[in-house]
Structure 1
Amino acid sequence: MRDHIVVLGLISSSFVAASPISPFGRHLSAASTSAPAGHEWRIAGPSDSRSPCPMLNSMSNHGWLPHNGKNIDLATIQSAFQSAMGFSTESFISITEQALTLSTTGNSSTFHLSDLAHHNAIEHDGSLSRNDQFFGDDLHFNPKIWATTAQRYGIRVPFSTPVITVETASKARAARVRDAKLVNPAFNLTDQSGSIGETSIFLTAFWDQSAGGVPKDYARVLFEQERIPYAEGFVKGNHTLADIVTMISAVSAVKV
């Protein structure tokens, strides 16, 4: 599978409100995180650019990407994913090249995060945390959409199980696509590789091998707060493009 297909879903799935309150009402502060020095969490301001992807937004909120989310080039993407998430530098070359075709910066070598909301280029219907473009906003976090995903992930306190498994994540992804198809008369996700890639990159980035899944707290803070879950125990791994391909195979193999 080509690497640009592998990673389409990463940038498909925005401001959280400018005040330091998560969409679920949890009060946040930079002091509540244990991020590496110089990469403390800061919520996006009203003039900052954000994408439909909570992982990209989280890296920007931590300063691995420019905090304003603007004028991002390939080298910056490579450095951010390597430094923040432990992905090898070849992992996101093709998807970044595709992002550059959507650029509104006036410089074909850079893009703003908000450029990635362009419908059906990288962004797609059936996002885990955004509504479909047909309904008017495919950029911002949608609490109702996410609440359904969170329920399918089993994110409740106390959690009945501590992690999101490949099976759980795969079934939740497929169910969200089915939901969108039922209510969106313009639904056009004919190729689900981007959606599968989105889930696979999330699982690869945050996988806890000893626990056999992604800790549910990691997912909760990533989606709800657009914060890298350092305070919850996240430590970056070492991931290659081959690791993403392996996870895609595992996600695709689940009967949904």
Structure 2
Amino acid sequence: MCFGIQGRLTYTSETARSPCPLLNALANHGYLPHGGRDLDRDTVLGALEDAVNLDRPLSDFFFQAALSTVPLPNATELSLHHLNQHNAIEHDASLSRPDAFFSSHQDVFDPSIFAETRAHWPDPVISVRQAAAARLGRVQTSNRTNPAFELNRAGAPASVAETAVYIVAFGDVEAGTVRREYVEYLFENERLPFDLGWQKSKFVLTQKHLEAMSGRVVAETDSLLNGVGIRDATTDSQSPIAGDEL
């Protein structure tokens, strides 16, 4: 069961949750089993289709990536807490979670982190450029404050997808816009914004939609940086976190 304390969600030891607000929302609504444990492929793919109309190939891509975090050979099921593994899907510079260097609770929403993110959304409708600015702001803060900051070849695409997904799933795919209140509701409540009038997409969302939106986020980020990349702070990599590495 989950209980609200001062407007925040907390969970009992019987529930498993992830760094992903969307997956947590699916469990909170019952599209996934509320406990968030022992989730097989058909369950996850069906939940993503029913809740946000993601097509099965794209959902399967996400499931296989998530399955790689399970510390068992040949696993066919996962629990949401497995996704807390650092630098697999979970990554530094999250929009709503602290970096792993500062906390081991990436499954818990952090209002102060999200306050920094939402400061880049001044309008009722978030544009791709504002979404990219919010993500870039978190990357810059993390890079400046976290001595172990890293966006590796798994974390960097996941970071971009984190932004692209909320536009694709909750906004206008063609315009590249999304109502700010929908996104805030998702992150802060870990529930789908039905209460605000949101409805799932009437057409199936595919990998093409996600890749196109990710490309727009990267392009806007490059524009905001004026071609000056932010460098990874790890000692073994000096790849600029821009372009293909963003």
Using the size of structure 1 for normalisation, the TM-score is 0.78
RMSD, aligned α-carbons: 2.3
Relative CO higher for 1 or 2, CA cutoff 8 Å, sep ≥ 6?
A: 1
User: Matched residue pairs, number?
Assistant: 217
Structure 2 equivalent of residue 167 of structure 1 = 129
Are the structure 2 counterparts of residues 194 and 210 from structure 1 closer, same or farther at C-alpha, using a change threshold of 3 Å?
closer
Are the structure 2 counterparts of residues 193 and 212 from structure 1 closer, same or farther at C-alpha, using a change threshold of 3 Å?
closer
Cα distance in 1 for residues equivalent to 2:78 and 2:173? 35
Greater percentage in strand = 2
Written as runs of structure 1 = structure 2, the 5 A alignment for 1:168-247 is: 168-191=130-153, 192-208=156-172, 213-237=177-201, 238-247=204-213
Structure 1 equivalent of residue 227 of structure 2 = none
User: Deviation at 1:100?
Assistant: 1.6
Q: Unaligned stretches of 5+ in structure 1? A: 1-14, 29-42, 155-160
Contact 2:69-2:83 at 8 Å conserved across structures: yes
Q: Structure 1 residue runs of 4+, over 3 Å off?
A: 43-46, 104-107, 208-212
**2:56 pairs with 1:97:** no
Structure 2 equivalent of residue 63 of structure 1 = 30
Are the structure 2 counterparts of residues 173 and 221 from structure 1 closer, same or farther at C-alpha, using a change threshold of 3 Å?
same
Cα distance in 1 for residues equivalent to 2:41 and 2:91? 22
User: Deviation at 1:60?
Assistant: 0.6
Q: Deviations over 1:83-114 (max 9, x none)?
A: 00011111122331232232258971101101
SS at match of 1:18: strand
Contact 1:104-1:112 at 8 Å conserved across structures: no
**2:20 pairs with 1:19:** no
| Bigger shift: residues 243-252 or 54-63 | 243-252
Contact 1:82-1:88 at 8 Å conserved across structures: yes
Instruction: Give the aligned residue type for 1:240.
Output: T
SS at match of 1:208: coil
Percent of paired sites with the same residue: 36
Given the alignment, which residue of 103, 112, 115 partners 1:147?
115
